[in-house]
Structure 1
Amino acid sequence: MRIAAPPTRHPFDRPGRPPILPASSVSEGLIDVDPFTLPPQPDAGPSRPRTAVLATPGETPVPAQPGLPAWCDLYFRAPGEDFFASRTWYDTVAAQALAPGQEAAPLVVGGVVLWPLLREADRIRSLTTPYTLSWRPLAVPAATEPALRAAGQRVGEALRAFPPTSLDAVDPEAAGLSFLLDGLRDAGLAVMEHAHFGNWHEAFPSGLRWADYLASRSPALRTTIRRKLARAGRETRFELLTRPGHALEAGIAAYVAVRARSWKPHEPFPHFDPALMRAAAADGVLRLGVLWDAGTGDPVAVQYWIVSGRRGFLLKLCHDEARRDASPGTALTALMVRGLLDDDGVRELDFGRGDDPYKALWVSQRRQRIGLVLASPRNPLGLMAVARHVAGRVRRRGLDTLKARRGAGR
């Protein structure tokens, strides 16, 4: 049974002009909507999610809700299975990591794929933040290759009339992504790829213990770890926090205090990390480690990880810059990795965003997260984006050729 949704208009519509996109529909309880047809929503304030609710079964669009719509649950994963594809992750992002004027705009096409998107004025992009480790469209497990390609084509057809769409932190190896991208191309969109950030990680055989892991590291790191752990054992107290409660709140306060005394730059969304730690603790996937000075009781190093899908993900770490000579961060990382391997039995360590030099000491593999720009050459802004992309590729090839010739002439 199909129920016609009330007509709505997207941001480019003008009075007296027919809507660019057709009226959407709701089919068998699954949302099947066009993503950009919602009138502006009231600002939900800094402490609540700002979510553009596009449609719910049998209802008209409604004002901002406390979290993404309930119909997204069909596509979300359990936090312990894939935390960064879970409701916990996206609700926290929507509540604490969106700038004024931004709102989450989840889109489901054909009951097959959820596209976690973000809307800002007339621009659409992925629902990603400076904290996102990986983003992808979330398909139902039974989605077939033809269904994914068709869903990609429908999204592409909707995007053709809009300015270029940016998708960030994309895992190029994500299951089903290639079929969705083929569908976008079928719709006439140019799909332009660029490097976004590096992700250092390492997978391990089942049952690997800390002693085995340490033996596989470089001699210099092994010596450093043993020396720093010995000093930390004399001068600090280690505490691991995983569950909600007063101890967790003290650990979060320690994180805030240490970060303020660290080398870290200004935090654009200072409430995000505390909110994510509380939410992850409620799901049982948080591993928050604190090193306390044994004499003063002050925190000197803090970091938190997420354990999900037999993998440990490092979200944030910081140490008191005044205690840098003691390397409390190194000692805390060793204590956390030991617990992840021996107690949680993780099979992969993921050190998150970026190519910080220290990461290659702890894990040995690097993979690339990419950005994608989706643009229609038939749209003036899209044509400009395609031209810039092509010009950039030509320039990079020219520079590479020049470097190779200079190298050969030495």
Structure 2
Amino acid sequence: MSPDETRALPAAGTTRPLPAGAWRGPRGQTPMRMVALPRRRLPDWCDRFLLPPTGGDIFATRLWYDTTLAHAMHPGAEALVGLCGAEVALLPLQRGPRGGLRSLTTPYSLSWRPLPTLLAGPSALESAGASLGAWLRLRAPARLEALAEDAPGLDAWLDGIARAGIAVQRYRHFGNWHEPLEAGAGWAGYLAARPPALRSTIRRKLDRARRDLRFEMLHVPGAELEAGIAGYLDVHARSWKPAEPFPAFDPALMRAAAAAGVLRLGILRDAADGKPVAAQYWLLSGGRAWLLKLAHVETSRAASPGTALTAMMIRHLIEEEAVQSLDFGRGDDPYKSLWVASRRQRIGVVLAHPWHPLGMLEVARRRVAGWLGR
């Protein structure tokens, strides 16, 4: 990447000469520009593309990306953003030690998408895609992950990339279980829609939890939150879950989300000794609630503290927060279909220019996989 490509962008509405060798599209179409992020945070000028924490998509906020940049980047990875076309859309990206462009996604990401300006319609997004596609010509393939198949404008953006001569190869990334909630149904309506076996289990476990456990809901920065985060980490360490690839990420995200007013951290503690036995945290935005992580102590599994805590959290979210949808994150774990009823597919795309040696190999590999039905 040349120094010109990584130069800080000017303020919105200003112009500067194109760097030597930059692609200029038909009729002077504005090129794609790449900006490196040496400070591991998004520059202030990115704010016009980002939503506020309460804007309905937590994964399109500075809160999410700055926490990711600071606490979930692999050593040697280069963080950068791409500006598509005439400042139509922002692309949070990264480049690994071996090269190759990727979306700025991690094992914690539940979705990723181009971040358009508020006025960018399908034609503008198609033009933005064309600018990215032209930038990728004669470059190594790029991989973008955690895309929602039904995201508004996604097809137009990918069509623009393909129009620039780039092979757009989709693949299945992960399943996402979720459920829109019926207005006015409340906790009783939600519970009535669950499978009978789960309803029975919830009633029994909640009765036991009221006797033997203490429920804490934490969402405000301070000493109590720090004790809750310590409890979450203790539960995770004594659960069935493997060690986190980025141990600092969850605590940092909880602190940042609490400061923005969008964290709901639930802890169940043994009423006798005060030790945590189950923990989970959710993020709220615009009436939507995402379950980021949950865990319970393996030695307490027979008492099902995880089931009791999930029920308590969802009841709180419905009755106290009036959420309109629940999202259980990434993956097809069997328990998720008991709590929420709908599944959607998150996809990835490989963007390959067939004239580049690696692009040629990628296109051939995908074609062979298609012939074999993989």
Q: TM-score, normalised by structure 1?
A: 0.84
Is 1:115 the counterpart of 2:82? The answer is no
Change (3 A) 1:237 1:117: same
**Residue by residue, what CA displacement relative to the aligned partner does 1:289-348 show, whole Å, maximum 9, x if unpaired?**
000110111000000001112111000000000101100000000000001111111111
- 1: CA distance between counterparts of 2:128 and 2:33? 12
Give the corresponding residue for 1:198.
175
Offset of residue 394 of structure 1: 1.1
**Residue by residue, what CA displacement relative to the aligned partner does 1:190-211 show, whole Å, maximum 9, x if unpaired?**
0000100000011122223111
Matches for 1:2-401 after TM superposition, within 5 Å:
3-4=15-16, 7=19, 20-21=21-22, 34-35=33-34, 52-53=36-37, 64-65=38-39, 67-81=41-55, 82-109=57-84, 110-121=86-97, 122-396=99-373
- 2: CA distance between counterparts of 1:145 and 1:259? 44
Offset of residue 94 of structure 1: 0.3
Give the corresponding residue for 1:45.
none
Offset of residue 144 of structure 1: 2.4
Structure 1 residue identity aligned to 2:202: I
* Bigger relative contact order, structure 1 or 2 (CA pairs below 8 A, ≥6 apart): 2
- 2: CA distance between counterparts of 1:22 and 1:188? 14
Contact 1:207 1:345 (8 Å CA) reproduced: no
- 2: CA distance between counterparts of 1:132 and 1:393? 28
Contact 2:218 2:265 (8 Å CA) reproduced: yes
Offset of residue 185 of structure 1: 0.6
Offset of residue 78 of structure 1: 1.0
Secondary structure at 2:152 match in 1: coil
- 1: CA distance between counterparts of 2:157 and 2:70? 28
Change (3 A) 1:229 1:73: same
Contact 2:90 2:115 (8 Å CA) reproduced: yes
Change (3 A) 1:188 1:225: same
Structure 1 residue identity aligned to 2:123: P
Secondary structure at 2:373 match in 1: helix
Structure 2 residue identity aligned to 1:344: E
Q: TM-score, normalised by structure 2?
A: 0.91
Structure 1 residue identity aligned to 2:49: Y
Give the corresponding residue for 1:57.
none
RMSD, aligned α-carbons: 1.8
Offset of residue 119 of structure 1: 1.6
Structure 1 residue identity aligned to 2:92: P
- 1: CA distance between counterparts of 2:88 and 2:33? 14
Contact 2:31 2:135 (8 Å CA) reproduced: no
Contact 1:94 1:103 (8 Å CA) reproduced: no
Offset of residue 66 of structure 1: 5.0
Contact 2:178 2:340 (8 Å CA) reproduced: yes
**Residue by residue, what CA displacement relative to the aligned partner does 1:379-405 show, whole Å, maximum 9, x if unpaired?**
1100110111111111117xxxxxxxx
- 2: CA distance between counterparts of 1:66 and 1:245? 26
Larger Cα Rg: Structure 1 or Structure 2? 1
Structure 1 residue identity aligned to 2:91: W
- 1: CA distance between counterparts of 2:362 and 2:160? 20
- 1: CA distance between counterparts of 2:42 and 2:14? 23
Structure 2 residue identity aligned to 1:325: A
- 2: CA distance between counterparts of 1:97 and 1:273? 10
- 1: CA distance between counterparts of 2:138 and 2:260? 41
- Which runs of 5 or more residues in structure 2 are unaligned? 1-12, 25-29
- 2: CA distance between counterparts of 1:86 and 1:267? 23
Offset of residue 33 of structure 1: 5.3
Contact 1:168 1:371 (8 Å CA) reproduced: yes
Percent sequence identity over aligned pairs: 55
Structure 1 residue identity aligned to 2:270: D
- 1: CA distance between counterparts of 2:293 and 2:132? 34
- Which runs of 5 or more residues in structure 1 are unaligned? 8-18, 24-30, 39-51, 54-63, 398-410
Offset of residue 76 of structure 1: 0.5
Runs of 4+ in 1 over 4 A off after TM superposition: none
